[in-house]
Amino acid sequence: MKNEVIDEKKENKKEKFYMLSDRIVKKLFTIGSKASEDFLYLIISKTIKVPIEDLKRDFKMMHPQIALNNKNINSEADLVFENDKIYISLEINYSDYKSLSKKNFSYVCCLYLRDLVSKSDYKNLKEVYSINIDGFDYFGQNKFIYESEMIEKDLLISRNLGVHYIDINLEYLKKLGYNNITDELEKSLYIFVCNNKNILYELYEEGSFMREFLKEAEKLSNDLDELLYYDKKKLDQEMVYNNGKEDGANEKSLEIARKMLSRGDSLDDIVDITGLTKEEVENLKR
């Protein structure tokens, strides 16, 4: 049943969460504008419950290649931040797949180990937060935010390892609708749920950082063809010519994947852009 839902989401990707691409979101959050910084601070502040003023004072962005051991492959996270007390890995997950949790856990492990290299004891290790912006309901309980950590199964007592998982469920916002949104975080994240720019302009007040962020997102989405490495108009024509047959579209996806592999793009980016499965891309790579 779960796999059937995932496949349906992949087919409806552009209709459901057009802006929820790790490539697009990473670009938006790293362009260095005040609007993008304010939005980023809001997400982190609301999810880990740290005042925005504290974040602005001493948080900094890390290089996404977070593994200290160069033999550790696939250790490039989406967005990573730190101060002297906290590491944060922020991941953009459009759809669920079998190895997603293990991949995100590997990022947490890399960050945890980074601190052990520079400290001789375990008393003052940094807290590690994995914040996941999900285009699906991870636990299927219709909650906006899920918070997880390692606990004893029956007693539900935390092991206090300083590792925290936060899953933000965008499916919840999709079902809620913008007329029912009152929370500031819900309101801001609705930009990744709604494809109607008129609704978004109505939702975000003139002069607000979200209105400015919306303008930046709109400009980037207009340049999306440049990110896709192929002629979108030509592809659309070919899809019409094939009268909806999957073979033509799939061959085009394979062609794009080959080009992206030759450029050294990450597996996740290729899956995200082409709609192919990880197994199909890995077969191409081999």
The residues near 264 (Cβ < 8 Å, ≥ 6 apart) are none
Beta bridge partners of 86: 127
Contact by Cβ (8 Å): 110, 65:
no
Query: For residues 186 and 133, what is the distance between their CA atoms, to the nearest angstrom?
Result: 12
Q: Does one domain contain both 121 and 235?
A: no
Q: Does one domain contain both 113 and 231?
A: no
Contact by Cβ (8 Å): 189, 170:
yes
Q: What is the pLDDT of residue 88?
A: 95
Residue that finishes a domain, picked among 180, 199, 222: 222
Query: For residues 18 and 136, what is the distance between their CA atoms, to the nearest angstrom?
Result: 14
Q: Does one domain contain both 67 and 202?
A: yes
Query: For residues 106 and 50, what is the distance between their CA atoms, to the nearest angstrom?
Result: 24
* Number of domains, the chain: 2
Question: For the chain, where are the alpha helices, taking DSSP H only?
Answer: 2-11, 13-16, 22-29, 34-48, 52-58, 100-118, 170-176, 184-189, 197-203, 209-222, 224-228, 232-241, 246-263, 267-274, 278-285
Instruction: Write the secondary structure of 30-98 as one string of H (helix), E (strand) and C (coil).
Output: CCCCHHHHHHHHHHHHHHHCCCHHHHHHHCEECCCECCCCCCCCCCECCEEEECCCEEEEEEEECCCCC
Q: Does one domain contain both 96 and 146?
A: yes
Q: Which of 215, 165, 209 is nearest to 184 (CA)?
A: 209
Q: What is the pLDDT of residue 71?
A: 59
Q: What is the pLDDT of residue 256?
A: 77
Q: Does one domain contain both 8 and 49?
A: yes
Q: What is the pLDDT of residue 146?
A: 97
Cα 33 to Cα 7, 58, 77, 213, 215, distances in angstroms: 36, 18, 21, 9, 12
Q: Does one domain contain both 132 and 270?
A: no
* pLDDT lower than 70: segments of the chain: 1-19, 22, 69-74, 117-121, 221-250, 252
Q: Does one domain contain both 40 and 91?
A: yes
Q: Does one domain contain both 6 and 96?
A: yes
Q: What is the pLDDT of residue 5?
A: 35
Contact by Cβ (8 Å): 22, 12:
no
The per-residue pLDDT for range 136-194, each reduced to its tens digit, is 999 999 999 999 999 999 999 999 899 999 999 999 999 998 889 889 999 999 998 88
Strands 163-169 and 145-148: antiparallel
| Structural domain boundaries, residue 154 | 2-222
Q: Give the tokens for residue 70.
A: 């160069």
Q: What is the pLDDT of residue 239?
A: 46
Q: What is the pLDDT of residue 9?
A: 38
Q: Does one domain contain both 98 and 177?
A: yes
Residue that finishes a domain, picked among 179, 202, 222: 222
Q: What is the pLDDT of residue 43?
A: 96
Query: For residues 57 and 41, what is the distance between their CA atoms, to the nearest angstrom?
Result: 11
**The residue type at 73:** I
Q: Does one domain contain both 102 and 243?
A: no
Residue that finishes a domain, picked among 204, 222, 240: 222
Q: Does one domain contain both 163 and 261?
A: no
Query: For residues 207 and 37, what is the distance between their CA atoms, to the nearest angstrom?
Result: 15
Please tell me what DSSP assigns to residue 151.
Answer: B
pTM for the whole structure: 0.71
Q: Does one domain contain both 188 and 144?
A: yes
